[in-house]
Amino acid sequence: MVLSRLFRKPAPATAAPPPEVPAGVRIYAIGDVHGRLDCLDDLLAAIDRDSMGFGGEIRLIFLGDLIDRGPDSRGVVERAMALAAAPRQCDFIKGNHEELLLHAAQGERSALTVFHRVGGRETMLSYGADPDEYDACDFEQLAEMIRRLVPADHLAFLDSFGDGVALGDYRFVHAGMRPGVPFEEQKASDLRWIRREFLNFDGSFDGVIVHGHTISEAPEFRHNRIGIDTGAFATGRLTALVLEGPEQRILESRGPAGNY
C-alpha cells in the first residue's frame, strides 16, 4: 500500500487548446496570387458560396505577392482595389514582390535587378509594355517604364499594405517571423523575406503563424505555422485558409497550370 502511494501513475498530459479566432468572425486568408486573376476570381466565388448565410463578420486577409510571374498582375491589383472599396473587411499584407516593384519604381538598382528576375516582365506586359521595348531597356529605362505605365494610384495602393495582422491566436504575415522576436518587434525585411530560419524552427511563436512566400505542393500544417502558398502562378492552385473559432479548413481554386 505504501509503495502504491509512492509510485503513483503520472497524470496524463493535458493537450494544449487549439488556436482560435474571435467568436463571430470567419477569416479567409489567401495565399500568393502572383498575377493569376483567373484563380483569384474562382476563389472569391468559392468564398462567396462558402460564406452564404454566415451571420458574423467575414474578413479576407491577403498574405501578399499579388503581382509578378503570372499573366495579369494589373487585373489582380484592380480586383484587390475593388475589394478594398467594398463593405467587406479586407486586409492586405505587403509581400516581397510588392516591395520590389515599389523600390524599382524609385530607381533602386538592386530592386530592379531582382524585379526583372522574378517575374517583373510579366507584370509590365500586363500594364501594356511592349515586349521588345521591355527586353531592350536598361535599368534606368525600366524604372521610367514602371512610373509611366503603372498608375500612381496602383503604386499608392500597394504601398498602403501592412506588415502583418494579429487576430486571436494567429499572426498573419507574408514570409514568416524571426524566432525569439515578438510580433510587434519584427523587422519588415524578415516578415517579407525570411525563409530558412523560420521554416526550420520547431519552437513556439506568440501565435500560430499563417504565411505564404514558400511554395509547397499542399498547405503545410505545423504546430507553430500554416503555409498556404501552393504556387498558383505555375500550378493553378490558389489556396485560402478558413478559420472560425477553433476550426481550420481549406478552400482552393483549381485553374490551368501555367508556364510563367
For 236-256, write each residue's pLDDT tens digit.
999 999 999 999 999 999 899
Q: In sequence order, what are the residues at sequence separation of 6 or more whose Cβ sits closer than 8 angstroms to the Cβ of residue 93?
A: 61, 62, 63, 64, 161, 162, 163, 164, 165, 172, 173, 174
Measure the CA–CA gap between 180 and 175, rounded to whole angstroms: 16
Residue 4 lies in a domain: no
Task: Kindly indicate the confidence band of residue 17, based on its pLDDT and cuts at 50, 70 and 90.
Answer: confident
Q: Would you state the cell numbers that stand for residue 118, as one nine-digit string?
A: 522574378
Residue 3 lies in a domain: no
Mean pLDDT, the chain, integer: 94
Q: What is the pLDDT of residue 191?
A: 99
Measure the CA–CA gap between 115 and 13, rounded to whole angstroms: 50
On whether the CB atoms of residues 174 and 191 are closer than 8 A, the answer is yes
Q: What is the pLDDT of residue 3?
A: 39
How many structural domains does the chain have? 1
Q: What is the pLDDT of residue 193?
A: 99
Q: What is the average per-residue pLDDT within 118-141?
A: 98
Residue 1 lies in a domain: no
Q: What is the pLDDT of residue 7?
A: 43
Residue 73 lies in a domain: yes
Question: Whole domain around residue 81: which residue ranges?
Answer: 22-254
Residue 167 lies in a domain: yes
For 212-241, write each residue's pLDDT tens digit.
999 999 999 999 999 999 999 999 999 999
The residue ranking higher by pLDDT, 43 or 4, is: 43
- Is the predicted pLDDT of residue 4 greater than 90, yes or no? no
Residue 14 lies in a domain: no
Residue 174 lies in a domain: yes
Q: What is the average per-residue pLDDT within 154-175?
A: 99
CATH number of residue 219's parent domain: 3.60.21.10
Q: What is the average per-residue pLDDT within 23-48?
A: 98
The interaxial angle of helices 152-159 and 96-105, nearest 10 deg, is 130
pTM across the whole model: 0.93
For 78-111, write each residue's pLDDT tens digit.
999 999 999 889 999 999 999 999 999 999 999 9
Q: What is the pLDDT of residue 260?
A: 64
Task: Kindly indicate the confidence band of residue 36, based on its pLDDT and cuts at 50, 70 and 90.
Answer: very high
Q: What is the average per-residue pLDDT within 128-134?
A: 98
Q: What is the pLDDT of residue 150?
A: 99
**Taking the CA atoms of the chain, what radius of gyration do you get in angstroms?**
21
Task: Kindly indicate the confidence band of residue 16, based on its pLDDT and cuts at 50, 70 and 90.
Answer: confident
Residue 187 lies in a domain: yes
Q: What is the pLDDT of residue 12?
A: 53
